[in-house]
Amino acid sequence: MSSEDKPSAPEPLFEGLGEGSISLQRPWLRRLPVPFRTIGRALSWMALALFLLAIPSSCSPLTRRVRVVVNGTAREILTPQSTVMSILEEMGLRVHPEDAVRPAPATEMASGGIITLQQARWATVMVDGQVHHLRTQAQSAWELLKEMGVILRPQDRLLVNGQGASELQTSGSSLPAASTRQVTSRGPRPLSFSPPPPLHVAVARAVPLHVEDEEEEHHFLSAAATVGGALYEARIPLYRGDRVEPSLDSPLTAGMRVLIQRALPLTIQVDGNTIHTRTQGDTVADVLAQEGVSLWDQDYVVPTESTTLSADMTIRAVRVREETIVEQEAIPFETAWTPDAELELDQRRVERAGQPGIIAHRFRIRYEDDQVITRTLEEEWQAQEPQSKLIAYGTQIVSRQMDTPDGPRSYWRKVRVLVTSYSAATAGKSPDHPLYGMTRLGWRMRQGVIAVDPRVINFGTRIYVPGYGEGTAADTGGKIRGRHIDLGYDESDLKLWYRWIDVYLLDPPPSPHQIRWVLPDWPREG
């Protein structure tokens, strides 16, 4: 059989196209023109690529899908590594002997497995004068000290991360909770995880302390840094002015003796304020200087500045001031009268206006806490003399005529008066009185008798009263004063009066020396 008749060997599927490459061959491609061969090869490569991508990654023997939980944070990765340690190293995670790894680092991992890594936290422990740096899985400072074999006494002080903490607080202090966030990684790119926060623990050992508080003594253990801190923890109160030896900011040492000298409690009353204070001073002057209370001029203090202080004493600082004032008082002026023959009777003219005088008084007033204590008259003088008022009154008498129901009457004076009325029964005497019904002139009481003030209207003057008629001034009374007359009536015919009217004094006028030229102005017509 010739070579041409021999069946041809099957064409290889892949044919080298050069170093590091393969070629997809088909018998029918060789019979195509060269350009079409190139297109065919490209289509074959695309089909192969789509086929490979359709294969699930989990089916690939070169990769594994693994879930890694580091310090509570979960990640899902695809890795070709097989052991726990190689997977963690691929993730850039260094495993220390104190770290907790599950499963063991040499364990072979299958796809879908879970790796848990809890990294140890860095811890710095200062105790008994030594500093320890270590890694630990302890969840609290208390667990860490227990691992180290450090025993805490009740009075010792524990500082965790710079803050004070009690035993119960530190025993419950745990690491942050794990995160539930998941991230998938498709390669060996390192992933970042938050490391556990570092732990700083300091143990301050309590030392014995003896405190002498005047008549009291205290013995206790304290881990405070200073004397003041120890007294505060022991609930020994300190007040302003108390003296402490050694000072409050002195470092605490074992066996130290502390002396407290108590200040005296006092109360100071000054300038309207009450100051509650304490002092180490001996006298009133000492505590005033301590509180900045100054005494000026005549100020004084009760008790005196030299008084020895005692507990709960009350001190009163009194502010003293004096001032001089001048007060003026008016001196009323007098009224002088002068007759004027050219003026008609009962007419007036002011010749000169009056002016009051002024009398001045100078007083010295002493104040204590703004309260007047004394008021002393130092001087008194008349600053201005009064000037009397001068009034001219008329003395010219002019008779005039008037018509009345009883006929014409001639009068020399008209007077405005208050008119009332009375009878024998209303005159104030009982019927069995010897003077019952008798007037001041001894007349029998009847109509026509008029009671007057004889200083205004002379007895015997004939008076015409409109509505009453003519009467004679023949009586007086205890309430008849000034411009007031009382009209008499018979017992059986009493009419009540109470009104202001003009009455007329009938001619002839009396002699000039019997006339009251200036009549009083009371009572006043209201």
Helix or strand or coil: residue 227? helix
pLDDT at 194: 80
- Tell me how far CA of residue 391 lies from CA of 335, 354, 355, in angstroms: 7, 10, 14
151, 167 in Cβ contact below 8 A? no
For the chain, what percentages of helix, strand and coil (3-state, to nearest 5) are there?
A: 15, 40, 45
**pLDDT score of 240 more than 90:** no
3-state secondary structure 24-82: ECCHHHHCCCHHHHHHHHHHHHHHHHHHHHCCCHHHCCCCEEEEEEECCEEEEEEECCC
**Cα 33 from chain centroid (whole Å):** 104
Determine the pLDDT at residue 414. 98
Please state which of the ranges 126-135, 163-172, 293-302, 329-338 shows the lowest mean pLDDT: 163-172
Considering the chain, what percentage of its residues have pLDDT values greater than 90? 65
Task: Give CA–CA dist 462/474, Å, rounded.
Answer: 9
pLDDT digits (tens, 9 = 90+) for 13-62: 333 333 333 344 445 445 556 555 666 666 766 665 555 454 444 444 56
b/e map of 60-93 (b: 16 or more CB within 10 Å)?
A: eeebbebebbbbbbbbebbbebeebbbbbebbeb
Report, as an integer, the average pLDDT of 250-271. Answer: 94
pLDDT (0 to 100) of residue 452? 98
Please tell me the predicted confidence (pLDDT) of residue 27. Answer: 52
pLDDT band (50, 70, 90) for residue 183:
very low
Which helix (H) or strand (E) segment is 131 a member of?
strand 130-136
What's the pLDDT score for residue 196? 86
- Region 207-261: CATH code: 3.10.20.90
**Has residue 163 got a pLDDT over 80?**
yes
pLDDT at 170: 42
Residue 475's CB is within 10 A of a number of other CB atoms, namely: 23
pLDDT band at 171 (very low <50, low <70, confident <90, very high): very low
The CATH fold of domain 323-393: Resuscitation-promoting factor rpfb fold (2.20.230)
pLDDT (mean) for 372-390: 96
> Is 81 within 8 Å of 104 (Cβ atoms)?
no
Max mean pLDDT among 143-152, 220-229, 254-263, 465-474 falls in 465-474
> Could you tell me the pLDDT band of residue 426, with boundaries at 50, 70 and 90?
very high
> On the CB side of 332, how many CA atoms lie within 13 Å of its CA?
2
Fold classified for 401-514: Barwin-like endoglucanases (2.40.40)
Mean predicted confidence (pLDDT) in 487-504: 96
Q: By three-state DSSP, how is residue 145 classified? A: helix
| Overall average pLDDT of the 386-396 stretch | 97
Q: What pLDDT score was predicted for residue 431? A: 93
- pLDDT of 97 above 60: yes
User: What mean pLDDT is predicted for residues 320-333?
Assistant: 96
pTM: predicted TM-score of the whole model, two decimal places = 0.48
Cα–Cα dist 342/344, whole Å = 7
* Under 8 Å between Cβ of 377 and 362: yes
* 275 pLDDT more than 70: yes
Domain coordinates in residue numbering, the chain: 1-54, 59-205, 207-261, 264-316, 323-393, 401-514
Q: Provide the 3-class DSSP secondary structure of residue 231.
A: helix
- Judge whether 295 and 271 are in contact, CB under 8 Å: no
258, 301 in Cβ contact below 8 A? no
Task: Provide the pLDDT for residue 307.
Answer: 97
Tell whether the model's pLDDT for residue 69 goes beyond 50.
yes
Nearest to 340 by CA among 297, 382, 392, 383: 392
Confidence of residue 143 (pLDDT cuts 50, 70, 90): confident
Instruction: Look at residue 3 and tell me whether its pLDDT is greater than 60.
Output: no
CA dist 344 and 346 (Å) reads 6
Residue 21: other Cβ atoms inside 10 A: 9
**pLDDT top residue among 39 and 491:** 491
Local confidence band at 76 (pLDDT 50, 70, 90 cut-offs): very high
Question: Residue 175's pLDDT band (boundaries 50, 70, 90)?
Answer: very low
